[in-house]
Amino acid sequence: MSKDLFLAFGHWAVAGDVLNPEKFAHKIVQRLSRKGYEVSQVHPRGGENVYVHLADLPRQPDVLCLVINPKLGAAYIAEAAALGITHIWLQPGADAEEIVEQCRALKLEVVQSCVLVELAEREAADTSKE
């Protein structure tokens, strides 16, 4: 499935260090939110407006974006598959071969790319059309 199709989905869950402004997970949450996406935040420690498990989300996301150590990411992949979340976006660093293989074995659709770069490229293309 193409990046464009993933980016057309409106509700994303971002799993990673979403509360730390220095981390990419936080930056991704902020950028997606500014672009009008509904974004749910997920991290094993939880926190204010941060869920520990995908099953705890008030509404199932269309896309799970992993921005987390692959050792922790494997559990989120398994949970996503069990919940019927079939679109997985793997950020650089979260896209270890074992994670990619796990996604394939579970028949999940996968994109391996930086969502921040993809959004910036689309913004630049939209601006050049104006």
130 pLDDT band (50/70/90 cuts)?
low
Domain encompassing residue 38: 3-59+67-129
The H helix count followed by the E strand count for the chain is 5, 6
- The 10s digit of each residue's pLDDT in 63-109 is 999 999 999 999 999 999 999 999 999 999 999 999 999 999 999 99
Rounded to an integer, what distance in angstroms lies between the CA atom of residue 125 and that of residue 93? Answer: 27
Structural domains in the chain (count): 1
Task: Report the distance separating Cα 20 and Cα 30, nearest Å.
Answer: 11
Residue 113 makes CB contacts below 8 A (sequence gap 6+) with 3, 89, 90, 91, 92
Is the per-residue pLDDT at 127 higher than 80?
A: no
Using the predicted structure, report yes or no on whether residue 4 has a pLDDT greater than 80.
yes
Task: Give residue 76's pLDDT.
Answer: 98
Buried b (16+ CB within 10 A) or exposed e, 62-83: bbbbbbbebeebbebbebbbee
Given a cut of 70, whether residue 1 has pLDDT beyond it is no
CATH number of the domain at 20, please. 3.40.50.720
pLDDT of res. 125: 80
